[in-house]
Amino acid sequence: MKKNILIYWTTTGILSTMMLFNAAQYLLNPALVADFIHLGFPDYFRIELAVAKTLGALVLIIPAIPFRMKEWAYAGFGINFISASVAHLMSGDPVGYALFPLIFLVILVVSNVYLHKLNKPALQEKG
């Protein structure tokens, strides 16, 4: 059980830290405006993603948040990582740019698997 807790909090911590850092960069780094234009996105989408990533990261790291809300955050991040990878591929960026979000997708999946392992007894009682 301690191993499961360690794996869950390590992957969730990495993921949440990256999302919070990413959100801050979207709002504070002027160079990212040009990056969003390069990818073909409107500027408001950068701010929308910053807000969504902040909220999603908080949902994942606050233990009192209900399980179902955490599942929605995982789904949102999964869509975000896959979309980011596709956007980089379609805009002609190097393959490495498209692989980076997929690395975080793997971390996301591991975190989600261990969330389910840790909550399995509680889920079986409700089922």
Does the pTM exceed 0.75? yes
User: Who has greater pLDDT, 91 or 125?
Assistant: 91
Q: Is the pLDDT of residue 47 over 90?
A: yes
Dihedral sign of CA atoms 78, 80, 81, 85 in order? positive
pLDDT for position 122: 60
pLDDT tens-digit map of 58-87: 999 999 999 999 999 999 999 999 999 999
pLDDT for position 6: 96
pLDDT for position 125: 58
